[in-house]
């Protein structure tokens, strides 16, 4: 017994080529469906990668508080009054349930030049609390981040970004520990470098320097001012995060004497809610793609089923001759089902190839540089499963007309027109 029935497959190929237009149109419908499936999967993934890239630098479970101006009169207080955060506001966050990590930011006002020996430049400086590293997802390459002792003793220490270290310290690339324990001056104030960090954000993030907030307030006449407050809320849901934000706003309203309903006095950015919205968008996109894929499979089933019905009808007399000469029902069914499998598998392969090619071309054009659309890619496992289902469904669609034809009596089939 031959492992591969060459006569059978030669007959299948000959039948398909004798009906080129019909075969091509059927294959085009199946291939186009797979092509669109791959394209949609890749585009959806590119959109998701772009959005997640924009969230990579900050904790996605954080609340950010910005001081603002009152927009309504409250207990004799005028409209337009500026709200200024203070150290007491940071301390008060400890009394709010649901908060995990907290930090404040104090920004240096003015152009402070940073110097080390004969090198100097101007860098952005954030004066923060120790838990700030969890808010910005700071990666410590060498040394350490600011700690509580630095704040308590108002130590003159600084943590510098990787690009700052490259500009100020010669030989840093060969020996990354060179900056540690070295003294640099910010303005006229000396600070000892205790750590070098990198960041998954853009390069600008690695041009920052971090100071203990208490030291900066003292050294740069900041008094007890804080420009911004931020915190994480653990695994809180959107509803829970909004409740935490509301509690904070009520607490701040009582201490700063503004209306608890005045959203402009203290503005809150809820990244939990923002990220949840994008997650829902991704869920919708995935659901849409799966609906398209199911419709693709259904279109494939209908197309292949129709073509098989036509083929069986045209070959009814031929089937009668085969049965009269001793062909078994299995051989007739397998012949017609094999034709369905050839059409769906070949069309699916070409659709997959063109789709992957289109995604690769899109990736070359966009690459890793897009802000909201980057690095499009497709899960080939999902696509191959879809093609497998399509081939199976095509075989199933060809089986029923074939089974019906195999049951026709030879004398009836021979009389068919």
What is the distance of C-alpha 166 from the center of its chain? 31
pLDDT, residue 50, reads: 72
> What are the residue boundaries of the structural domains of the chain, listed by start?
6-55+276-415, 62-269
pLDDT, residue 346, reads: 81
How far CA 258 is from CA of 95, 236, 248, in Å, comes to 20, 27, 13
Query: Rounded distance, CA 368 to CA 56, Å?
Result: 14
For each successive 10 residues of the chain (417 residues), what is the average pLDDT? 56 64 72 78 76 64 91 88 93 91 90 91 93 89 95 96 94 92 94 92 84 95 92 89 92 91 90 82 77 71 71 69 71 75 79 82 69 70 72 74 70 58
pTM for the whole structure: 0.67
pLDDT, residue 1, reads: 45
One-character DSSP codes across 152-182: HTT--EEEEEHHHHHHHSTTTTT-TTTTTT-
Q: Which residue has the tokens 């923060």?
A: 128
Q: How many CA atoms lie within 13 A of 142 on its CB side?
A: 16
**Is residue 96 classed as helix, strand or coil in its secondary structure?**
coil
Residue of 87, 11, 40, 4 whose CA lies nearest to 336: 11
Q: How many CA atoms lie within 13 A of 415 on its CB side?
A: 5
The total of other beta-carbon atoms located within 10 Å of residue 99's CB is: 18
Secondary structure E strands in 233-389:
266-270
372-375 contact pairs (CB < 8 A, 24+): 372/47, 372/50, 372/51, 372/54, 373/46, 373/47, 373/49, 373/50, 374/46, 374/49, 374/50, 374/53, 375/46, 375/49
Query: Rounded distance, CA 56 to CA 367, Å?
Result: 17
Could you tell me if 270 and 245 are in contact, meaning their C-beta atoms sit under 8 angstroms apart? yes
pLDDT, residue 3, reads: 46
Query: Rounded distance, CA 13 to CA 17, Å?
Result: 6
pLDDT, residue 143, reads: 95
């Amino acid at each position: 017994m031959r492992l591969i029935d060459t006569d059978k497959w030669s007959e299948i190929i000959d039948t398909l080529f004798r009906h080129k237009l019909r075969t091509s149109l059927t294959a085009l419908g199946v291939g186009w469906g797979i092509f669109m499936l791959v394209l949609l999967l890749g585009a959806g993934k590119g959109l998701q990668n772009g959005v997640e890239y924009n969230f990579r630098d900050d904790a996605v479970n954080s609340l950010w508080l910005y001081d603002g101006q009152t927009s309504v009169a409250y207990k004799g207080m005028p409209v337009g009054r500026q709200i200024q955060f203070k150290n007491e506001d940071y301390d008060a966050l400890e009394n709010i349930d649901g908060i995990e990590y907290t930090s404040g930011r104090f920004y240096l006002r003015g152009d402070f030049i940073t110097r080390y020996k004969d090198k100097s430049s101007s860098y952005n400086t954030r004066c923060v609390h120790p838990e700030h590293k969890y808010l910005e997802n700071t990666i410590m390459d060498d040394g350490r981040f600011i700690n509580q002792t630095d704040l308590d003793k108002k130590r003159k220490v600084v943590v510098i970004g990787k690009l700052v270290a490259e500009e100020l310290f010669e030989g840093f690339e060969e020996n990354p520990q060179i900056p540690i324990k070295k003294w640099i001056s910010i303005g006229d104030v000396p600070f000892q470098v205790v750590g070098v960090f990198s960041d998954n954000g853009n390069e600008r993030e690695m041009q920052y320097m971090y100071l203990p907030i208490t030291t900066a307030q003292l050294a740069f006449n900041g008094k007890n001012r804080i420009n911004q407050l931020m915190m994480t809320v653990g695994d809180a849901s959107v509803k829970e995060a909004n409740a935490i934000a509301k509690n904070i706003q009520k607490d701040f309203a009582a201490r700063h004497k503004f209306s608890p309903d005045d959203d402009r006095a203290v503005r809150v950015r809820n990244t939990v809610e923002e990220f949840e919205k994008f997650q829902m968008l991704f869920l919708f996109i995935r659901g849409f793609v799966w609906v398209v894929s199911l419709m693709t499979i259904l279109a494939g089933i209908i197309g292949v089923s129709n073509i098989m019905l036509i083929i069986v009808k045209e070959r009814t007399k031929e089937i009668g001759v085969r049965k009269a000469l001793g062909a078994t029902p299995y051989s007739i069914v397998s012949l017609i089902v094999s034709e369905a499998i050839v059409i769906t598998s070949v069309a699916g392969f070409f659709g997959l190839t063109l789709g992957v090619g289109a995604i690769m071309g899109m990736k070359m054009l966009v690459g890793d540089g897009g802000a909201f659309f980057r690095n499009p890619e497709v899960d080939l496992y999902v696509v191959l499963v879809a093609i497998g289902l399509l081939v199976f469904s095509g075989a199933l669609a060809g089986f029923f007309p074939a089974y019906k034809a195999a049951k026709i009596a030879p004398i009836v089939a021979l009389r068919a027109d």
